[in-house]
Structure 1
């Protein structure tokens, strides 16, 4: 009988300590919420300036508007960047490795931006071309 009483006493003491620890944790979570929010905002702000984007590798600068800030911003909004690498340069020395690299990025774009991402990008390409004066009519 004494064993049961001791067990019951220790059980109740343990439960009360556990409940007070949970309440203390909740209180500290509430006080740290504002600090967490501000640190999360700081990380997000820092991340936007240093984000690494997936790359689509092109052999030449055709249809990339290389150096145009408008088009670079549009491709980053879509979630990738163009990288111009002439044929045979490292790390993509052959067409096969370049193809698989681009295939992965383009497949991801199909799922994140929809199957018509290329048509949307071409429209933005033309808009940026006209806005910055990079357009030359062909007669």
Structure 2
């Protein structure tokens, strides 16, 4: 019975028993993996950017002239006044929207119960 002599290994190093892949020698599979890893990283960056934009849109205050709606009552209209508050969402006053040819004549306060919406002509709500 003969013993095979192995080169001495330092602590924490594995034995190099298998063949080593040279740095310049890449196969089709490793190129494909590198391409997919790059694509995944690019998509993750795009997702982070989209999540930041979404968070901004969900938390931003409306501007005068934009449309908002009240989720409780369904009333919607153009913002005429935004009143900031120390805590919580700003209070919003709107001019009720009745139709394309029928502008509202009364304003109501939605207080903090509002959400941004697209203008009615863009959503196709007109008859």
- TM-score > 0.5, shorter chain as reference: no
Normalising by structure 2, report the TM-score.
Answer: 0.33
Larger CA Rg, structure 1 vs 2: 2
More strand by share: 2
**Relative contact order (C-alpha < 8 Å, sep 6+): which is higher?**
1
